[in-house]
Amino acid sequence: MAEKKPSYAKINMLHGIVISSKVGSGKIGEIRIPELDNNFVVVGTRDIPGTNRVRVLDESIPLLTSSQISYLGQPILAMFGFDSESVQLKSKEIEIKIQDIDAEKGETDNRKPFEYSHGNLQTAIDAAGLLVLERNYHFSDPHERCNDITRITAEQEEDKLHIYTPTQWPSHVRDTVSEITTFPRKKIIIHKLPFYAPHDEMLINPSILASIAAIACLKGKCPVEIQSRIANKRPTIEISRKSWYYPDGRVQAEKILAKVNQGVAPFFSEEMGNQLIAGLVPLYPLEALEITIKIETDASRPAHFYGDLGYCEALSCTEAHYSVLAKMTGYSPAAWRIKYASETPEHNQVIRSEKYARLKEIINDTCLRCDFQRKNAAYEMQSQMRVKMSTFFNYSRGIGVACGAGISGFSTSCQKLPQQSVQVQLNPNNKVECNTSFYTTGSSSEIWKQIISEELNVEKDNISFATEEKELIDSGPSVLSANSGRMPFQIQKACMQVKEKRFLQPLPICETVISAKQSGKNNAMFYSNNWIAVALELEIDTVTLQPLVRNVWVTIATGRIFDDQSLKSKIRHTIVTTLREGGALLSSGKSFSIDIQIVGDGNQISSSFSSALKGVVTASFLSALEQALGSNIPNVPVSGDTILSTMRAKT
Whether 449 shows a pLDDT value over 90: the answer reads: yes
pLDDT in tens, 227-254: 998 888 899 999 999 999 999 999 999 9
Question: What does the pLDDT average to over 469-493?
Answer: 87
Selected residue with higher pLDDT from 419 and 249: 249
pLDDT bin (cut points 50, 70, 90) of residue 100 is: confident
Task: Tell me which of 189, 204, 228 is where a domain ends.
Answer: 228
Residues 30 and 57 in one domain: yes
Helix axes 356-370, 372-385, angle to 10 degrees: 60
The pTM score is 0.93
d(CA 107, CA 546): 37
Q: Which CATH number does the domain housing residue 50 bear? A: 3.90.1170.50
Tell me, yes or no, whether 540 and 626 share the same domain. Answer: yes
Give tens-digit pLDDT for 277-299. 999 999 999 999 999 999 999 98
Least confident of 137-151, 325-339, 401-415: 137-151
pLDDT for position 522: 63
Return the number of other C-beta atoms located less than 10 Å from residue 11's C-beta. 7
Least confident stretch, 17-26, 100-109, 302-311 = 100-109
Q: Are residues 350 and 425 in the same domain?
A: no
| pLDDT score recorded for residue 417 | 79
Does position 625 have pLDDT exceeding 90, yes or no?
Answer: yes
Residue 163 and residue 93 in one domain: yes
* Residue 434 sits in the same domain as residue 475: yes
Domain residues for the domain of 23 are: 14-102+145-228
**What pLDDT, on the 0 to 100 scale, is given for residue 103?**
47
% residues pLDDT > 90 (the chain): 69
The answer to whether residue 147 scores a pLDDT higher than 60 is: yes
Judge if 533 and 390 occupy the same domain.
yes
Q: To the nearest whole percent, how much of the chain has pLDDT over 70?
A: 94
Q: Are residues 392 and 370 in the same domain?
A: yes
Predicted local confidence at residue 475, as pLDDT: 92
Nearest CA-CA partner of 250 in 339, 344, 319: 339
C-alpha separations of 213 from 62, 292, 586 in Å: 16, 42, 43
Indicate if 508 and 529 belong to the same structural domain: no
Structural domains counted in the chain: 3
pLDDT of 391 > 60? The answer is no
Best CA proximity match to 256, nearest among 272, 276, 236, 284: 276
Asked if the structure places residue 295 within a domain, the reply is: no
Is there a domain that residue 132 lies in? Answer: no
Angle at 46 between CA 41 and CA 49, to 5 degrees: 95
Q: Tell me what pLDDT residue 393 has.
A: 44
Residue 487 falls inside a structural domain: yes
pLDDT of residue 127: 95
| Residue (of 208, 170, 205) closest to 191 by Cα position | 170
Residue 107 in this model has a pLDDT that exceeds 60: no
Find the mean pLDDT for residues 404-424: 87
**Does residue 469 carry a pLDDT above 70?**
yes
| Sign of the torsion formed by the C-alpha atoms of 468, 474, 480 and 482 | negative
* Residue 503 shares a structural domain with residue 555: no
Q: Does 386 or 421 have the greater pLDDT score?
A: 421
Final residue of a domain: which of 228, 251, 274? 228
pLDDT recorded at residue 611: 93
The answer on 574 and 535 residing in a single domain is: yes
pLDDT at 149 over 90: no
Helices (H), 351-414: 356-370, 372-385
Does one domain contain both 534 and 593? yes
For the segment 544-601, what is each residue's pLDDT rounded down to a tens digit?
Answer: 888 999 999 999 999 888 888 989 999 999 999 999 999 999 988 777 999 999 998 7
* Residue 186 DSSP label: G
**Please, what's the largest Cα pairwise distance for the chain?**
82
pLDDT of 613 > 90? The answer is: yes
498-530 pLDDT tens trace: 999 998 999 999 999 998 765 555 688 999 989
Q: Is residue 396 part of a domain?
A: yes
Which of 507, 448, 446 lies closest to 475, judged by CA?
448
pLDDT for 642 equals: 81
pLDDT at 441 over 60: yes
pLDDT band at 106 (very low <50, low <70, confident <90, very high): very low
Residue 438 belongs to domain with CATH number: 3.30.365.10
Q: Is pLDDT of 386 > 60?
A: no
Does the pLDDT of residue 451 top 70, yes or no?
yes
> Residue 394 above 60 pLDDT?
no
As a whole number, mean pLDDT of residues 174-187 equals 96
- What is the C-alpha separation between 570 and 355, in angstroms, rounded? 25
Mark whether 346 and 404 lie in a shared domain: yes
Report if residue 293 sits inside a domain. Answer: no
pLDDT of residue 109: 56
Domain for residue 262, yes or no?
no
Instruction: Tell which of 472, 494, 514 closes a domain.
Output: 514
Q: CA torsion sign, 593 to 366 to 612 to 280?
A: negative
Measured distance CA(261)–CA(293) in Å, rounded: 11
> Looking at the domain assignment, is residue 612 inside a domain?
yes
Residue 239 included in any domain: no
Mean pLDDT rounded to a whole number for the chain: 90
Q: How far apart are CA 135 and CA 11, in angstroms?
A: 62
Tell me the pLDDT band of 650, cut-offs 50, 70 and 90. Answer: low
